[in-house]
């Protein structure tokens, strides 16, 4: 924004500066031209005065002669003043500068100095003639012949002076035309400057401002959309999570009544489905910030991955009295490496739409994992329903807002499928309904999933966790792995324990009172100088938080809730890296 303001300020100052220069230049030019016009007017007035003075001197001299005696002082002085003024005017009209006549054009030069007019010489001769006659008149010696001669010269001079005035006026008229042309040029130049400023300064400024305003409006609309989307998402997330929670609570109640192990299996599937939904929330945050989703690959069986989604939606199918056919291929039990959580989410979303839009008939699922000749695996899943079909389903989605699913929808599904290197195809089912094909490449793991190398029994591990319920679960899992666990509730107690004895592994929570996990990891690495492996167990899925723990010195991390297989893999990797490398 500051850069934009600086650009606008520069352009505005530039435009003002150009206009100031143009206006100043125009004003200076006009002043010069007006000054020249004033000089031309003085020249014309002076030339016209010469005509009057030539006649005045002749009349005053005639008055001296008529009296036949010396004239009064006033008349003598008036004649002298007229002659002096005539001489001064002659000197002004013939003024020179740098060896050139200031007030005479080429035609006037010819008229003043070249025959037949030779006006300059005639004026000088006339002044001399009147001056001599005046002296004779003062002495009473002026003859009538002399007076007639002067009158005749005055008449001739009057004609020439009229012609001189006309020539001076022509010069002035020519200069006026030049002045008009200069004024026109200045006006056109000013208009041109305004057009150039409008095109190259003000128009780009206007377009830039419009662009920025449009961008800000888009940002405002996007912010409002994201705000509304987040509100709707949180409401739907709350609704969506109640499905696995209801299954967990309901089947736990049934287990208490009957102690059937099958009920606990459903609880296990529902809990894992709930974990998948939590991963969806993380993906939503990443997509909202326009960041790239990071895949979380692990080795597991696709049969177990598919069973999570089936366990959740079977009760819903029964509630709607829909038939459900599931054909699971022989390749699903193969151990494969892929992002199992997101594959389970994709299958669950397709099933969710199929169950939601199907009121009568059946929903079917066909899934298998095929190993190609090159040894690569391909997970293929086809889900069909007898609902209204793609077009009517989409219309129902547009009209109805309160439907199942967290509305991460097709955007996230297409993105995840693309990141996994697969494809998802929606087609109409015959005679009615929808058919969805999902194909994803996976990596088939040939060796056994289980590590044959056993952990050292009784290896000491330090668990730093402030939540006692979470701590009890993790301690139980670690003890099943053969570790001896000491539990503390914050980073300060962890530092005290590390100063008392050595540990093979530290499991660190991040958000704790007194001293959090970030500070504790930093103190362990920098203050105590210990190289003991640190496994971060956290519910904080922020990318910044995860990046920070690695910068501080953590070895790896797991998100809560902790899965037994994932925990075992991490523990074996940290405590027995050589064993893991031999099997990978």
- Residue 290 is given by DSSP the state T
Query: What architecture is domain 298-393+408-444?
Result: 2-Layer Sandwich (3.30)
- Token readout for 186 is 């200045």
Nearest CA to 438 out of 373, 298, 357, 343 is that of 343
- Token readout for 447 is 């060796």
pLDDT digits (tens, 9 = 90+) for 321-340: 889 898 999 888 888 888 88
> What residues form DSSP beta bridges with 328?
367
User: Tokens 């100052």 sit at which residue?
Assistant: 13
User: In this predicted structure, what is the pLDDT of residue 292?
Assistant: 63
d(CA 420, CA 416) in angstroms, rounded, equals 6
User: In this predicted structure, what is the pLDDT of residue 67?
Assistant: 60
d(CA 241, CA 245) in angstroms, rounded, equals 6
Beta strands in 445-546 (DSSP E): 459-464, 483-488, 505-508, 534-538
User: In this predicted structure, what is the pLDDT of residue 265?
Assistant: 76
Superfamily per CATH, domain 460-575 = Response regulator (3.40.50.2300)
Ranges of each domain in the chain: 1-205, 298-393+408-444, 460-575
**In what order do the strands lie in the sheet containing 505-508?**
483-488, 459-464, 505-508, 534-538, 556-559
- Token readout for 164 is 């001189």
Q: Which helix H or strand E contains 377, and what residues bound it?
A: strand 377-385
Nearest CA to 348 out of 409, 418, 422 is that of 409
Alpha helices in 439-504 (DSSP H): 468-480, 491-500
Share of residues in the chain with pLDDT > 90 (%): 27
d(CA 358, CA 81) in angstroms, rounded, equals 125
Q: What is the CA radius of gyration of the chain?
A: 55
User: In this predicted structure, what is the pLDDT of residue 308?
Assistant: 72
The interaxial angle of helices 119-138 and 73-93, nearest 10 deg, is: 160
- Token readout for 479 is 């003890």
Residues of the chain with pLDDT under 70: 1-5, 8, 64-74, 226, 229-230, 232-240, 243, 273, 276-277, 279-293, 390-412, 447-456, 577-584
Contact call for residues 310 and 365 (beta carbons, < 8 A)? yes
Q: 390: which residues sit within 8 A by CB, 6+ positions away?
A: 426, 427, 428, 434
Contact call for residues 517 and 489 (beta carbons, < 8 A)? no
């Amino acid at each position: 924004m500051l850069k934009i303001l600086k650009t606008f300020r520069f352009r505005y100052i530039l435009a003002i500066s150009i206009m100031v220069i143009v206006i100043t230049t125009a004003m200076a030019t006009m002043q010069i031209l007006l000054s020249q016009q004033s000089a031309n007017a003085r020249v014309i007035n002076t030339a016209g005065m010469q005509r009057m003075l030539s006649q005045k001197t002749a009349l005053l001299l005639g008055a001296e002669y008529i009296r036949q005696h010396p004239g009064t002082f006033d008349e003598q002085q008036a004649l002298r003043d007229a002659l002096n003024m005539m001489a001064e005017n002659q000197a002004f009209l013939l003024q020179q500068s740098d060896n050139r006549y200031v007030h005479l054009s080429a035609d006037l030069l010819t008229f003043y100095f070249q025959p037949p007019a030779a006006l300059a010489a005639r004026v000088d001769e006339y002044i001399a003639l009147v001056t001599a006659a005046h002296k004779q008149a003062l002495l009473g010696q002026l003859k009538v012949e002399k007076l007639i001669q002067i009158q005749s010269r005055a008449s001739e001079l009057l004609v020439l002076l009229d012609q001189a005035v006309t020539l001076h006026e022509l010069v002035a008229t020519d200069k006026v035309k030049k002045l008009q042309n200069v004024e026109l040029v200045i006006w056109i130049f000013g208009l041109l400057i305004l057009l150039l400023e409008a095109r190259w300064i003000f128009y780009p400024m206007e377009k830039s401002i419009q662009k920025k305003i449009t961008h800000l409006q888009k940002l405002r609309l996007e912010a409002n959309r994201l705000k509304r989307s987040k509100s709707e998402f949180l409401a739907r997330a709350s609704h969506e999570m109640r499905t696995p929670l209801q299954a967990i609570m309901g089947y736990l109640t049934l287990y208490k009544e009957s102690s059937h192990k099958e009920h606990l299996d459903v609880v296990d599937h529902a809990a894992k489905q709930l974990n998948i939904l939590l991963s969806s929330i993380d993906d939503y945050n990443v997509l909202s910030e326009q960041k790239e989703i990071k895949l979380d690959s692990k080795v597991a069986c696709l049969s177990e991955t598919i069973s999570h989604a089936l366990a959740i939606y079977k009760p819903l199918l029964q509630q709607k009295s829909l038939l459900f056919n599931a054909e699971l291929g022989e390749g699903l039990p193969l151990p494969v490496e892929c992002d199992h959580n997101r594959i389970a989410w994709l299958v669950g979303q397709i099933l969710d739409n199929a169950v939601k839009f199907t009121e009568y008939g059946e929903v079917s699922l066909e899934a298998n994992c095929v190993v190609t000749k090159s040894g690569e695996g391909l997970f293929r899943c086809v889900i069909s329903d007898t609902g209204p079909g793609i077009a009517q389903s989409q219309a129902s989605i547009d009209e109805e807002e309160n439907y199942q699913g967290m509305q991460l929808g097709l955007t996230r599904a297409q993105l995840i499928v693309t990141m996994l290197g697969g494809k998802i195809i929606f087609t109409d089912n015959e005679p009615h309904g929808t058919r969805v094909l999902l194909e994803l490449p996976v990596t088939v793991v040939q060796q056994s999933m289980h590590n044959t190398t056993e952990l050292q029994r009784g290896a000491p591990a330090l668990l730093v966790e402030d939540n006692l319920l979470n701590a009890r679960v993790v301690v139980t899992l670690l003890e099943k792995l053969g570790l001896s666990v000491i539990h503390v509730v914050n980073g300060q107690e962890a530092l005290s324990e590390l100063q008392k004895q050595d540990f093979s592994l530290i499991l660190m929570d991040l958000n704790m009172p007194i001293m959090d996990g970030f500070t504790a990891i930093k103190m362990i690495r920098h203050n105590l100088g210990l190289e003991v492996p640190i496994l971060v167990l956290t519910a904080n899925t922020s990318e910044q938080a995860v990046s920070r723990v690695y910068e501080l010195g953590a070895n790896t991390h797991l998100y809560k809730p902790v899965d037994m297989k994932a925990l075992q893999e991490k523990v074996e990797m940290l405590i027995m890296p050589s064993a893991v490398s031999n099997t990978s």
